[in-house]
Structure 1
């Protein structure tokens, strides 16, 4: 450093503890996983990162407590491991996995399945286990 520093030069450093920067490290990890930091970020990557950060709600505190799902709910959400899914496709899957109400033995109607899937997704979204996005209307 001495070879590149002018005799009257100043070295400025910015020291932070790991705990102070943990949220930044989490954000960087997310952006790496979704491919925004594969190379030198361009305008598109910067815009996507900003839009993502703006979309996050302030009241969401990351949780270290895992959310448990019963086997029916987990099976309904399995396609999310392969990629984005529409809510309608998850509702249809719910109706295939659980076609009847276990208490009344009556068929699960589409609206009832939709309400159940919506409730699960809202819970998972509030803890950032899934990220919900609105689809473009045609």
Structure 2
């Protein structure tokens, strides 16, 4: 299964909305954004179960910067779709949604934006909403995949 994750307020905090993984010295020196606590555990579990992990964001962060943010934690998403790529694909298909995971072949997209969930219903995409304040987010994702 291809599982994609949004960044802002899903895996990367825009404020102090959730606890974060410990940053290593390199991450601190480079000023890299932290990852939500539980991200490392979740990604390793998903990979062990044979899932592909992608990043699908409307952020304009470069793919290299996103790779670095995850790489310093030993995490290596198989594909990164940023807003530059997203906008091109949505335009090609005359899609007016902010995101359309099904256009990329994504089986499950994890996001914090309820609007993405609403759009997914008309686009035939499978989206799970995980809010920043959800402390059981890892379990909720694992249970959703199991069902």
TM-score interval, smaller chain? under 0.3
Q: Normalising to structure 1: TM-score of the pair? A: 0.26
Q: Normalising to structure 2: TM-score of the pair? A: 0.25
Higher helix share: 1
Higher relative contact order (CA 8 A, sep 6+): 2
Higher strand share: 2
